[in-house]
Structure 1
Amino acid sequence: MDDHDGYFDERVAATYDDSSGGPFEPSAVEATVDVLAEFAGQGRALELGIGTGRIALPLSLRGVPVHGIDMSQAMVARLRAKPGGDAIGVTIGDFATTKVDGTFSVAYLVFNTIMNLTTQEAQVACFRNVAAHLEPGGCFVIEVMIPELRRLPPGQNAVPFHVSPTQWAFDIYDDLATQTMSSNYIDVVDGRGEYRSIPFRYVWPAELDLMAQLAGLRLRERWEGWTRDALTSESRQHVSIWEKLAE
C-alpha cells in the first residue's frame, strides 16, 4: 500500500469531518452502524482505514469493542481528540498486511477504502489478512462504488462527482487495463486554487468475490446500500458481506 499519510495528511484530516451529505449524513451513519453492530454480535469489530472514527465511534457507543488499523497518523490524531476516541485501540500500519492481536466477529472497509490499495496484489492480501483475523463464521463487510465507466462522456475519461463555488471534484479513469483511477480535487481557498489527487484501483463485485474465495470466504449478502435495498444493474455502489468458512 502506498504511504497514505501523504494523501490523508494533516491538511486533509483537519477538514475531513466538515464533510456533509451522502455517507456523512447522520441517518447514513446510523444505517451503517446498525448493520455492523448486527454482524459484530457479542464479539469485536476490526475497522480497516479507521480514519477519524466516523463509524468506529458510534459503533463503540453501541457497546461493540472496536480496533482500527490506519496508516495516517494525522487522521488517527483527530479520532483520539474526540470524546471516546481514547477508548478505541488503533494500530498504525498498512491494513493489507498489518496484524493485530485477537480475533474478530466482523471486519469492515467502508466508503471505497478498499480502492486505496492500488494493486490487485494488495487487495488480495487484504482479504487474506482479514480472514486471518476473523473467527470461523465471522464476516468481512465492504462498501464500495461500482465503476462508472458507462457514465464516461464519449472520448473522455473523467467523471465529475462534486461541483460547488469553492470545490470541483472529479474521477479520472486512467488505465482500463490495470483498473487504475484517481479522485481529483480543486479547492478555492482565499481566492487561490489548490489541487490534490488521490490514486485508487477500482474493483468489480465479481473480482471481489474471487478474492474472497482465495482467502477462504464465501459471499453471504450483497445489497445496494446499508438499508439493504436490492442490487440492480443501475446501482452505483454495493455493500457486500463475506463469511469465513469453518476450518
Structure 2
Amino acid sequence: MTDYNDSTYGDRIADIYDNWYQNYDVKAVKALAELAGDGPALELGIGTGRIALPLQTHGVMVHGIDSSEKMIAQLRAKPGGDRIPVTIGDFVEVPVTGQYPLIYVPFNTIFAPLTQEEQVLCFQNAAKHLTPDGTFLTETFMPDMTRFQRNQNISLVAMDDGYLRIDTSRHDAVQQTIYSQHVAWTESGARFYPVKLRYIWPSELDLMARLAGLRLAERWGDWDKSPFTNNSSKLISLFRHA
C-alpha cells in the first residue's frame, strides 16, 4: 500500500489489538520497574498501554509517545489510562522535554521506522533525554531468514468455525524490510491489518547506539535476564551513556 505511514498500523489494528496481544510478560514489567527506579519512564510507541499500565501499578510514573490517536483512545478507556501523559507524534523525534532514567521500546517497535537513518535518529534523540545513568532499552525479535521461502511467508494463526486468520509476509533482504498483512476472515468478510518494519541485526543496534554516544551495557535473551545466545529468538538490549 502506498499510503502507509507511522500511524497506519495502530489506526488499523487499534480496536482488536488487545484481543490479539492481551498477555504481557510479568517478568518484563518487573525488570522495567527495577530499571526505572523512582522514574519517570518513557515508552516509545505506548499504544494501548499493554506494558505501561502494569508498570504504573508498580509505582512507576510512565509517560508515552505514539502516533496513533486510535491506539491512545483504547489506552484512555482503560482504568488508569487517563493518568498517563501521552504525546501524539512520531516517536523517532522523541518530542518531549526532560530526562528519564528509563526510555524503553518494547515488542519490536524500534523496527517501525523504515529507514536506517530514522532508526539512528531515534537512538540519538533518546540519548538526549536519558539521565546520566539512564538506560535505553529495546526489545526485538532475532531476525530469522529461514522463515522465508523465495522471500515470502504465509502462516495459519487461528481457525475455527466461521473464523480464519493468516499472516502473510514479503521480505526485502537488500532494504532489511518485511511487509506483512494480518488477514482475518469472518462470515461477514475479511479485514486487513498491514504492518511494515525494518529489522536490525544485533551488531547494527550496537553501532546505532555508538553513533548516539551510547554503549551496550547488557543483552538478555528474555525478560528473565537469561544470556543472549546463538539460539535466542529474542534480544533485549540495554544501552547507557558511553
Q: TM-score, normalised by structure 1?
A: 0.90
Identity %: 45
Q: Which of residues 29, 35, 42 in structure 2 aligns to 1:39?
A: 35
* C-alpha contact (below 8 Å) 2:94/2:126 kept by paired residues: no
Q: CA deviation at 1:111?
A: 0.6
2:210 corresponds to 1:213: yes
2:183 corresponds to 1:183: no
CA distance in 2, matches of 1:201, 1:235: 19
Q: CA deviation at 1:42?
A: 1.4
Aligned residues: CA RMSD = 1.5
Q: Point out 4+ residue stretches in structure 1 off by more than 6 angstroms.
A: none
CA distance in 1, matches of 2:27, 2:155: 23
Q: Which residue does 1:145 correspond to in 2?
A: 141
Where in structure 2 are there 5+ consecutive unaligned residues?
none
1:22-67 C-alpha deviation (Å, 9 max, x unpaired)? xx435x1x11111111111112100000000001111111111111
* C-alpha contact (below 8 Å) 2:39/2:62 kept by paired residues: no
SS at match of 2:16: helix
Q: Which of residues 213, 219, 222 in structure 2 aligns to 1:222?
A: 219
Q: Which residue does 2:157 correspond to in 1?
A: 163
* C-alpha contact (below 8 Å) 1:49/1:69 kept by paired residues: yes
Q: CA deviation at 1:4?
A: 2.7
Aligned length: 235
1:220-247 C-alpha deviation (Å, 9 max, x unpaired)? 11111111122221221211100123xx
Task: Show the 5 A alignment for 1:59-208.
Answer: 59-153=55-149, 156-160=150-154, 162-165=156-159, 166-173=164-171, 175-208=172-205
CA distance in 2, matches of 1:195, 1:56: 27
2:16 corresponds to 1:19: no
CA distance in 2, matches of 1:110, 1:162: 25
Q: CA deviation at 1:163?
A: 2.3
CA distance in 2, matches of 1:117, 1:180: 10
* C-alpha contact (below 8 Å) 2:13/2:193 kept by paired residues: no
